Amino acid sequence: MVKRFVLYGFLGICAEIFWTGMGSLINGDIRLRGFTYIWMFPIYGMIVFLEPIQHKIKNWPLVLRGGVYTILIFFMEYTSGLFLRFLLGVCPWNYTGPLAINGLIRLDFIPIWFCFGIIIEKIHYTIDKISVLLRTQ
C-alpha cells in the first residue's frame, strides 16, 4: 500500500504539472510553465484508498463509475483544502468564479475529474497486472 501511495503521489504531481503547463500555453506562455504544491503529493497519494471502491464498482457502467470517482475526488479536494486552511491558515489553491465553492472546488472541473477517475482506474488495474506478473516470476 505504501508503494502505491508513493506511486499515486508522483503520478498526481506529474499530471498536475502537465495540466498547469498546458494551461499556461492556453494563456499564451509558450514556455509551458507548469507548477504544483508539495502538499499535493500526499493528497494524490490518497488515491490508493480508491482501489477498494474501484474493485466493488468495476462492473458498473462507465458513466456511473466516473460519477462516483468525481464525487469522491471533489470530497477529497474539498476536505483536504479545508484541512490545509486549518493547518496552514491558507489553502494552496484558491478557485474563483461562479462555479467555485468556498475556493476549494470548481464545479466546471466535473468532466476533468470524471476523466481523471477513469484514467486512475486504468492505472490501478495495470498496476495490479504488473504486480501479478512480478509475483509469478
The pLDDT-based confidence of 132 (bands split at 50, 70, 90) is: confident
Mean pLDDT, residues 47-56: 95
> Which H/E stretch holds residue 53?
helix 51-57
Determine the residue type at 129: K
Mean pLDDT, residues 3-20: 95
pLDDT of residue 61: 98
Count of domains forming the chain: 1
Q: Alpha-carbon distance 82 to 97, whole Å?
A: 18
Is 90 exceeded by the pLDDT of residue 137?
no
The pLDDT-based confidence of 134 (bands split at 50, 70, 90) is: confident
C-beta atoms surrounding 100 within 10 Å: 15
Query: pLDDT by residue (tens digit) across 52-108?
Result: 999 999 999 999 999 999 999 999 999 999 999 999 999 999 899 999 999 999 999
User: Which residues form the domain of 126?
Assistant: 2-136
